[in-house]
Amino acid sequence: MNAKNSDSHMTTRRAVIKGIGSYLPERVMTNDDLAKIVDTSDEWIRERTGIVQRHIAADGETTSDLAMHAAQRALADAGMQANEIDLIILATSTPDNTFPATATAIQARLGITHGAAFDIQAVCSGFIFALNTANSLMITGQADNVLVIGAETFSRILDWEDRGTCVLFGDGAGALVLSAEEGSGENSDRGILAGKVRSDGRHYDKLYVDGGVSSTQTVGKLRMQGPEVFKHAVKNISSIISETAEIAGITMDEVDWFVPHQANKRILDGTARKLKLAPEKIVITVDKHGNTSAASVPLALDVAVKDGRIKKNDLVLLEAMGGGFTWGAVLLRW
Ligand code: ACO
């Protein structure tokens, strides 16, 4: 997607952010709590990942429950009614049911009977894939007011006996409301300016769930080759950030805020070093949320908007990498 028009007088439809909301389940699980379940320590988890605590969904609290809270908060922030929404895209790898899409449950619970709703599955990159998809449908005129949600209950697919994975993840949800508006076609426009998604399925089994409908007829548990994921993460994330900036024709130092997927503090530090990003421009929430997969980017974004760091007209770069491998980025003006 190119952000620029060859004719600078031509207007462009832009997906402009109108509201944001997020939700974390009440229950907080600290590293010390985990040390009572598996052979680990607060020191090990902090040092290797930067994680201090994560939130865990209550018994019976589903992905759609978390998503509903985030969606309602985003709609309130936008000052919009649910029935103004004509498209809902939910990024999740932990749907309520195998089918239908959890997004349709959210649509019904919001009382929306028009438009469309569907899920996107790109694991930790899900929100970036969903945002890029929403942008494409908006600029081609198929949707005007869109809810893009990332929501996960990863606690349900963790092997609570595997200390290599269960310490990394948490539950949560975040949502954005976007509206199509006419822009000038220049990078000074508010809204999504550029985006890119990638995948490489050769790495399918480096981060996967060992069950599924068509293979085992079970839900399965998350399995990961941690060092392998780590090795690819910094490289993929750095390249997608550079490519997305290039599509928009901007340089790294023009970006006001980097809001990365929150997997691991060491991945964020490695990326910052490689791209020479100013550490104070990077929004970090992995300490408090852990890795919430598709929910992590909108959760981090909401924190930085609510605490006043991200302001109207700031240039913000979102990025993520996850299972598949999948990875992607979105550059937007808040
Ligand atoms: N507590 C204590 N010891 C542990 C724990 C734990 N929770 N987990 C693993 N160990 C041990 C291992 O058993 C191993 O012990 P050994 O040497 O006696 O065999 C030792 O620590 C080193 O294990 P490694 O897996 O090599 O540890 P590493 O330094 O690579 O750190 C980690 C592991 C944190 C998972 C790291 O590989 C990593 O961050 N990888 C990226 C994975 C990631 O972030 N995934 C999220 C999903 S993908 C994404 O979102 C980008």
> Could you tell me if 170 and 220 lie in one domain?
no
Q: Where are the beta strands (DSSP E) in the chain?
A: 12-23, 27-30, 53-56, 87-91, 116-120, 145-153, 171-183, 191-199, 207-209, 222-224, 257-260, 315-322, 326-333
Enter the tokens of residue 155.
């606690």
Output the CA 49–ligand 1 centroid distance in Å: 9
Q: Is the pLDDT of residue 288 over 80?
A: yes
Q: Residues near 160 by Cβ (< 8 Å), separated by ≥ 6?
A: 37, 38, 166
Q: Is the pLDDT of residue 5 over 90?
A: no
Enter the tokens of residue 129.
């894939």
- Cα separation, 123 vs 120, whole angstroms: 9
- The residues pairing with 247 across neighbouring beta strands, listed in sequence order, are none
Residue 71 near residue 84 (C-beta atoms within 8 A): no
Q: Is the pLDDT of residue 178 over 90?
A: yes
> Could you tell me if 166 and 198 lie in one domain?
no
Residue with CA nearest ligand 1 atom 42: 226
Residue 25 near residue 151 (C-beta atoms within 8 A): no
How many other C-beta atoms are found inside a 10 Å radius of the C-beta of residue 123?
26
Residue with CA nearest ligand 1 atom 41: 230
Q: Where are the alpha helices (DSSP H) in 142-194?
A: 163-166
Instruction: Determine what percent of the chain is predicted with pLDDT higher than 90.
Output: 96
pLDDT tier for residue 9 given thresholds of 50, 70 and 90: low
Q: In the listed set 132, 149, 183, which residue is the last one of a domain according to the structure?
A: 183
Q: What is the per-residue pLDDT across 19-78, written as a single tens digit (0 to 9) for each?
A: 999 999 999 999 999 999 999 999 999 999 999 999 999 999 999 999 999 999 999 999
Q: Is the pLDDT of residue 287 over 60?
A: yes
Shortest CA distance to 168 belongs to which of 124, 138, 137, 133? 124
Angle at 315 between CA 77 and CA 199, to 5 degrees: 95
Q: In the listed set 183, 205, 236, which residue is the last one of a domain according to the structure?
A: 183
Q: 92: helix, coil or strand?
A: coil
Cβ < 6 A, ligand 1 pocket: 40, 44-45, 48-49, 124, 163-164, 167-168, 207, 224, 226-227, 229-230, 233, 261, 263-264, 291, 321-322
Structure confidence at residue 11 (pLDDT)? 74
Q: Is the pLDDT of residue 173 over 90?
A: yes
Query: Can you give the pTM of this predicted structure?
Result: 0.96
> Could you tell me if 135 and 273 lie in one domain?
no
Structure confidence at residue 199 (pLDDT)? 98
Q: Is the pLDDT of residue 149 over 50?
A: yes
Pairing of the two strands 87-91 and 145-153 = parallel
What is the CATH classification number for the domain harbouring 249? 3.40.47.10
Mutate to test the pocket of ligand 1, among 32, 157, 264 (most ligand atoms within 8 A of CB): 264
Residue 279 near residue 272 (C-beta atoms within 8 A): yes
Residue 301 near residue 259 (C-beta atoms within 8 A): yes
**What does the pLDDT average to over 234-257?**
95
Shortest CA distance to 315 belongs to which of 297, 333, 330, 292? 333
**Does 1 fall in a domain?**
no
Residue with CA nearest ligand 1 atom 20: 164
- The residues pairing with 89 across neighbouring beta strands, listed in sequence order, are 118, 148
**Does 323 fall in a domain?**
yes
Indicate the average pLDDT of the chain: 96
Q: Is the pLDDT of residue 4 over 80?
A: no
pLDDT tier for residue 10 given thresholds of 50, 70 and 90: low
Mutate to test the pocket of ligand 1, among 44, 48, 52, 166 (most ligand atoms within 8 A of CB): 48
Q: In the listed set 183, 207, 230, which residue is the last one of a domain according to the structure?
A: 183
Residue 89 near residue 133 (C-beta atoms within 8 A): yes
Q: 279: helix, coil or strand?
A: helix
**Does 2 fall in a domain?**
no
Domain encompassing residue 162:
12-183
Which position has the token pair 């975040």?
Answer: 174
Q: What is the per-residue pLDDT across 111-135, written as a single tens digit (0 to 9) for each?
A: 999 999 999 999 999 999 999 999 9
- Cα separation, 23 vs 10, whole angstroms: 39
> Could you tell me if 23 and 84 lie in one domain?
yes
- Cα separation, 196 vs 68, whole angstroms: 27
Residues annotated as part of the active site: 124, 261, 291
Q: Is the pLDDT of residue 101 over 50?
A: yes
Residue with CA nearest ligand 1 atom 28: 227
Please count the structural domains in the chain: 2
- Tell me the residue length of the chain: 334
HSE, side-chain direction, 13 A CA sphere, residue 331: 28
**Does 271 fall in a domain?**
yes
